[in-house]
Each structure stands twice: as structure tokens, then as C-alpha cells.
Amino acid sequence: LMGNIILLKIPTTGGLSHLLTMEAFHKSFPPGTINFISGKGRVTMPPLMKSGRVDALAFIGASSAADRLIKDHPEPHRLKVFLQLEAKNMGVYMPNLFDDNEGTGEQVDWDSIMKETIAGTLSYNGQRCTALKLLFVPKDKSEGLSA
């Protein structure tokens, strides 16, 4: 990283989850090394790419969006590119999610679990880079989710 800066575009949905990342970078790198911008990618990214001042692009999202960003660069053949396209995001259900409420005898709230699972997998018809595509459930609890 010596002599370079990094500009991270934070997603508009779920951006607050990057606060811990920002804090870790702040503690680990000299001031000005890591910078963050927010906003809609279709608005914030094209001007940056068209400037030609971006030497490398790491992108997670749709292949069509990556193609547009690369084409926006005045010298796309010199652009170093790392792409993770059509994401396969995981939903991991921790075993304690299914425990009764610390011995109170309260039942597992399957309705809430299913509501959040469906929202994470099917909102925007699953066509979001944040959509859950793979669900990992403890074996002894999987029957409750598949019923």
C-alpha cells in the first residue's frame, strides 16, 4: 500500500455494518490511506472511473455493473481488476438462535426467523448483491426451517 490510497464505496444498504471496518482501518493505517465514500454507486462511481485516476478496481456485484465501470475508465486495459460477481452470500444460523430464551421456556420464534430469512433471500427478487443465496443451519435444527 505504500504510496497509494484506497477509496472504499460503502453500500447504501447495510453501510452501518462497515463502521467496525472503518475503525479497524483507522487504527491500522496512516491518516488518509483509507478513505470512504457513500451514495448510490451509479452516481458516485462513474465520475471516479472516468477520471482515469483509479488504478485498480475491486468490485462485488452484478457483472453488468462491473462492465459499465470498466468501460468508463479511459484506459481499461491498464486497470487492475478484481471482481466477485453475482455474489453467493451466506446466511449462517448460529445454534443459540434456536435455544429457548435462557431457560425461560419461551418457544423459538419460527415466524420471526422465517420472516427475516425470506426478506434476506427474496427482497428485490433476490437480485441484490446483498441477497442470501446459501443458508447454513445446524443439522439438528434444519427440519424446522424446511417445514
Average pLDDT for the chain: 84
For residue 74, give every residue at least 6 positions away whose Cβ sits within 8 Å of its Cβ, in sequence order, or none. Answer: 50, 52
Task: Flag whether pLDDT at 117 surpasses 70.
Answer: yes
What share of the chain has pLDDT > 90, as a percent? 25
Q: Above 70 in pLDDT, residue 131?
A: yes
CA dist., res. 20 & res. 10, Å (int)? 13
Query: Sorting pLDDT into bands at 50, 70 and 90, what band is 98?
Result: confident
What local confidence, expressed as pLDDT, does residue 103 receive?
A: 60
Nearest C-alpha neighbor of 1 from the set 38, 56, 79: 56
Q: Residue 1: is its pLDDT beyond 60?
A: no
Start-to-end CA distance of the chain, whole Å, equals 50
